[in-house]
C-alpha cells in the first residue's frame, strides 16, 4: 500500500480544475498501457465540481471515453433520476456530455431497480457486477483511479465513523443504514474494494474539512479517510482551507 501524499491547491476552483486535468492524464496513460481505463466516481460538492471541470476542459477529448469503465464509490439509495442520486449529479456534470459506452457505465442499484427496495440485494448485485469485470481471480477491477470526497466527519464513500460498513473486511459492497449524512440509506464500496484501486484520490475543499483532513493525515484518528490507500498511489488533493489543520510534517 502506498503512503499518502498531499497536493495543495489555492482554492476549490483550482482543486477541481487541477484534478480534472489529473484525471485526463491518468486515464490516457492507463489506455496507452492497457487499452482501457476505469474510474470510480464520488458524489458530493467537490466530487461533482471535478466532473464539471472535466466536462469544460478541451483536454477531456484526449480520453477515449468509449474505453472507460465508470463505477461509483457509493450511492444514495434513491429512485433512478432522483436529483439527490450521485449518478444523477455525475450525468448532469459530465457523463451526458461525453461519448461513453453505456455498457461500461455502472450505476449502483436503485429502489426502482430489479431488486426493489432492498439495498442489501442491490449491494450483492453490484458486487457481482464488479466481480464479473475483475481481473482473473479478483473480486473487483483494479480501478485506475478511485475518487473519494472527504466528509466533515472524515467519512469517504458511505463509510461513516462508527457504522458497521467501516469494519467490513470481506464483502466488497454493502448496504448502509442510518447514515448521518442524508439520505440515511445508501450502498457503498467497502475498504477492501477501495484498496483494489491502483490510485486512490481523496478530495477535500473548505474549512469544514480541515479537522477531517488533519485526522486523516495526522496518524491519530481511526477514521475512514485515514484508512484509504491505493495499491500504487494515494493522493490527498486539498485546498488551503481544508489543509488548515495539517500537522507540520504533512503540510507541504
Residues at the site binding ligand 6PG, with contacts judged by CB under 6 A? 42-47, 74, 76, 86, 149, 151, 156-157, 181
CB of 173 to ligand 6PG, least distance (A): 14
Nearer to ligand 6PG, 44 or 119 (CB): 44
Nearer to ligand 6PG, 59 or 227 (CB): 227
Nearer to ligand 6PG, 85 or 132 (CB): 85
Closest CA to 70 of 34, 45, 99: 99
CB of 72 to ligand 6PG, least distance (A): 8
CB of 206 to ligand 6PG, least distance (A): 8
CB of 225 to ligand 6PG, least distance (A): 10
CB of 213 to ligand 6PG, least distance (A): 12
Nearer to ligand 6PG, 100 or 204 (CB): 204
Nearer to ligand 6PG, 45 or 113 (CB): 45
Nearer to ligand 6PG, 59 or 195 (CB): 195
Nearer to ligand 6PG, 39 or 156 (CB): 156
CB of 44 to ligand 6PG, least distance (A): 2
Q: If you write DSSP's letter for every residue of the chain in order, what string do you get?
A: -PPEEEEEESSHHHHHHHHHHHHHHHHHHHHHHHS-EEEEE--SHHHHHHHHHHHH-GGGGGS-GGGEEEEESEEE---TT-TTSHHHHHHHHTGGGS---GGGB-PPP-TTSTT-S-HHHHHHHHHHHHHHTSSTT-SS---SEEEEEBPTTS-BTTB-TTSGGGG--S-SEEEE-S-SSSSS-EEEE-HHHHTTSSEEEEEE-SGGGHHHHHHHHHS----HHHH---SSEEEEEEETTTTTT--TTT--
**Is 243:6 a contact under the CB 8 Å cutoff?**
yes
CB of 201 to ligand 6PG, least distance (A): 12
**Is 70:95 a contact under the CB 8 Å cutoff?**
yes
Amino acid at each position: 500500500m502506498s503512503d499518502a501524499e498531499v497536493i495543495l491547491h489555492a482554492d476549490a476552483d483550482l482543486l477541481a480544475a487541477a484534478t480534472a486535468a489529473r484525471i485526463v492524464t491518468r486515464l490516457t496513460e492507463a489506455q496507452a498501457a492497457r487499452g482501457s481505463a476505469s474510474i470510480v466516481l464520488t458524489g458530493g460538492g467537490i466530487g461533482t465540481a471535478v466532473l464539471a471541470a472535466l466536462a469544460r476542459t478541451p483536454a477531456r477529448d484526449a480520453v477515449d471515453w468509449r474505453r472507460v469503465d465508470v463505477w461509483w464509490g457509493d450511492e444514495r439509495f434513491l429512485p433512478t433520476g432522483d436529483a439527490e442520486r450521485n449518478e444523477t449529479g455525475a450525468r448532469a456534470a459530465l457523463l451526458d456530455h461525453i461519448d461513453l459506452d453505456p455498457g461500461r457505465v455502472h450505476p449502483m442499484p436503485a429502489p426502482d431497480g430489479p431488486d426493489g427496495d432492498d439495498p442489501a440485494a442491490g449491494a450483492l448485485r453490484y458486487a457481482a457486477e464488479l466481480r464479473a469485470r475483475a481481473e482473473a481471480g479478483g473480486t473487483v477491477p483494479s480501478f485506475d483511479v478511485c475518487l473519494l470526497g472527504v466528509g466533515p466527519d472524515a467519512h469517504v464513500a458511505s463509510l461513516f465513523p462508527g457504522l458497521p460498513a467501516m469494519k467490513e473486511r470481506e464483502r466488497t459492497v454493502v448496504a448502509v443504514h442510518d447514515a448521518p449524512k442524508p439520505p440515511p440509506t445508501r450502498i457503498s464500496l467497502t475498504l477492501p474494494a477501495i484498496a483494489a484501486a491502483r490510485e486512490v484520490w481523496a478530495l477535500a475543499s473548505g474549512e469544514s474539512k480541515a479537522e477531517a483532513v488533519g485526522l486523516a493525515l495526522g496518524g491519530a484518528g481511526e477514521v475512514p479517510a485515514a484508512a484509504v490507500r491505493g495499491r500504487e498511489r494515494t493522493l490527498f488533493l486539498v485546498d488551503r482551507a481544508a489543509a488548515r489543520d495539517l500537522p507540520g510534517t504533512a503540510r507541504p
